[in-house]
Structure 1
């Protein structure tokens, strides 16, 4: 085990040299970002929903920061964005120049004691989220599945593509399989939803759990052509654009099933798209970036771009995001034990 830990440290040190982090001590002497470059490190592959949102924000956020710094987006994939989260916590300098955008479902998985997690979520500094995910389950037209009740009755197993435990592509199908008996097989290990889309279009998998917000943007062709049929909302309440699609919570037959479902959907809703800074980032930098983030969410040019790209904007500020993460960490032990079995 010590050998594996040492290897992990070496990998993180190598990543830090590759991605380059500025000197926190030097930067602390100047509160302006003039002449600096901020890096947003996305934990998933280019072309997926997380990447698309990050790049849209990067194109506009700099003008809302004193000194108008450049903002560059880089991708650091691995283990469903866990590599990037660990990097931010253990390696990245707390100088306000490195922001990470990884899957917020990892916060829940820290509580569940999942292997590989090397961060303590409440110690991060939180900037905000651009929107709240509403997960849906989409299946290929070729499966013949068009109605979730008939699917449950037929017990037809549909193969879903996933990324890793801790992501909505995996956790949402797993919790629905455990609580309402949804007949599916999860094939995990794809680097992002862009790779799952290629597998879906190639017939390698026939289903996906994805946020409706991402589906409308990055899976637009599949949705518009009817190649992907949305059969179930993985939500506790219906999305206004999907009123004819049933919601998963209504299929739960026990109070425990509802509680378990609600916990996972909470982790993959309000907190699932966090923009985060390393622990010990100076508070003045945190406040500058929090304000710039929210100002970007109101920027007319940014909103025009996101409307054109079909990207929903429903932001949460940094203070609220921080509070939501703290709430997840207070989950009662009996439910933690149940979820450990389901999301293993």
Structure 2
């Protein structure tokens, strides 16, 4: 190949031209790779520690459908149900086994935090180091089999005959401990049946008569509990409420007609270590629904996912389906605000409710 430059004919070798072409091609590919978002072509897993059909599973699947379009690169998101030990198997996997690369998230209730206090030997991570991206407060309600127990109102708990069977998941799960502790506070005779994988299993057990009561998150009220309230199968006697920093219990604004346990429990029973234990179990209701990542995540990926979750939560189609499926608005806290709520609760449990935590550890062994 020849070219006239400055009045002279210059001859270029064949290999020089080929080499130049290769440099241009490689450079173009490098620029393209640099511009490619990290999540392009990737698959994110949301690990749900409870069985399909329950509240955690339903919300995880909503997130999996609506979140991808808000993440640069539009990754695929799948839900993997990893049941067992009240969600602790899933938490141990995400926080101590999964690579902290932003491709594995945990959607859970409070168990992964509370087990640090209630069953520390089962926890394989430092809960103070996890990254919390998103939280929703959630007041849990206790559902009774109205036909089998003949219980219609909270006062009936003080004179109930026979032994009530309380259903739960893992023995140290707050979902299992709270209804059991409530019956102890009332002085009602009861036995404990644990090992159920989630809301769907507990509901079947209730309807079959295997158990008489179980606890359900507020998000499950409309799809799971309310239809059975209307046909007289289930009666709801109380909700946990949200424990404020001033140690008052507030009703959830989404189920305001249901009183808190604090309102229906006789005053003389609201004292001593059992009542302190109840407060310790209600502290984490401020972050009952939680999306979190393992420690060691790169800050830019935390920022990407936090921003995407916030945009998703503001998206009208997501909000509409969330309300339809779970019976509550999609409002949530994100990023630093969400992380602060969880870390404040952890601090309170370490410093303010040690006596209650000890009581709960003993209760889990009964």
Q: What TM-score bracket applies, with the shorter chain setting the length?
A: 0.7 to 0.9
Q: Per chain length, whose mean CA-contact separation is higher, i.e. which structure has more relative contact order (CA < 8 Å, sep 6+)?
A: 1
1:78 aligns with 2:84: yes
- Counterpart selection for 1:46 from 52, 59, 62: 52
Cα distance in 2 between the residues matched to 1:206 and 1:240:
27
Cα distance in 2 between the residues matched to 1:321 and 1:152:
39
Q: Deviations over 1:241-294 (max 9, x none)?
A: 544433212324226554332221122x12222111121111100111111111
- Counterpart selection for 1:306 from 298, 303, 322: 322
Equivalent in the alignment of 1:65: 71
1:329 aligns with 2:346: yes
Q: Deviations over 1:313-340 (max 9, x none)?
A: 2312132332233223332343432332
TM-score, normalization by structure 2: 0.79
The aligned runs of 1:143-158 (5 Å cut-off) are 143-154=149-160, 156-158=162-164
Q: Deviations over 1:163-185 (max 9, x none)?
A: 11343421211332343434432
- Counterpart selection for 2:250 from 233, 237, 240: 237
The alpha-carbon deviation at position 45 of structure 1 amounts to 0.3
Residues 211/224 of structure 1: CA separation in 2 closer, same or farther (3 Å cut): same
Equivalent in the alignment of 2:18: none
Cα distance in 1 between the residues matched to 2:118 and 2:139:
23
- Counterpart selection for 1:197 from 183, 196, 203: 203
Q: Deviations over 1:209-253 (max 9, x none)?
A: 111221322344323322111112222222345444332123242
Equivalent in the alignment of 2:140: 135
1:272 aligns with 2:285: no
C-alpha contact (below 8 Å) 1:178/1:342 kept by paired residues: no
Cα distance in 2 between the residues matched to 1:336 and 1:202:
33
Equivalent in the alignment of 2:20: none
1:291 aligns with 2:296: no
Residues 83/144 of structure 1: CA separation in 2 closer, same or farther (3 Å cut): same
Residues 89/30 of structure 1: CA separation in 2 closer, same or farther (3 Å cut): farther
Question: Structure 2: 5+ residue runs without aligned partners?
Answer: 1-32, 242-248
Equivalent in the alignment of 2:187: 181
- Greater radius of gyration (CA): 2
**Is the deviation greater in 184-193 or in 243-252?**
243-252
C-alpha contact (below 8 Å) 1:105/1:271 kept by paired residues: no
TM-score, normalization by structure 1: 0.84
Residues 105/309 of structure 1: CA separation in 2 closer, same or farther (3 Å cut): same
1:90 aligns with 2:106: no
The alpha-carbon deviation at position 92 of structure 1 amounts to 0.5
Equivalent in the alignment of 2:360: 339
Q: CA RMSD in A?
A: 2.3
C-alpha contact (below 8 Å) 2:280/2:357 kept by paired residues: no
Cα distance in 2 between the residues matched to 1:290 and 1:93:
18
Cα distance in 2 between the residues matched to 1:70 and 1:329:
33
Equivalent in the alignment of 1:119: 125
Question: Structure 1: 5+ residue runs without aligned partners?
Answer: 1-26
C-alpha contact (below 8 Å) 1:249/1:258 kept by paired residues: no
Q: Secondary structure of the equivalent of 1:139?
A: strand
**Is the deviation greater in 218-227 or in 27-36?**
27-36
Residues 146/170 of structure 1: CA separation in 2 closer, same or farther (3 Å cut): same
Equivalent in the alignment of 1:254: 271
* Number of corresponding residues: 316
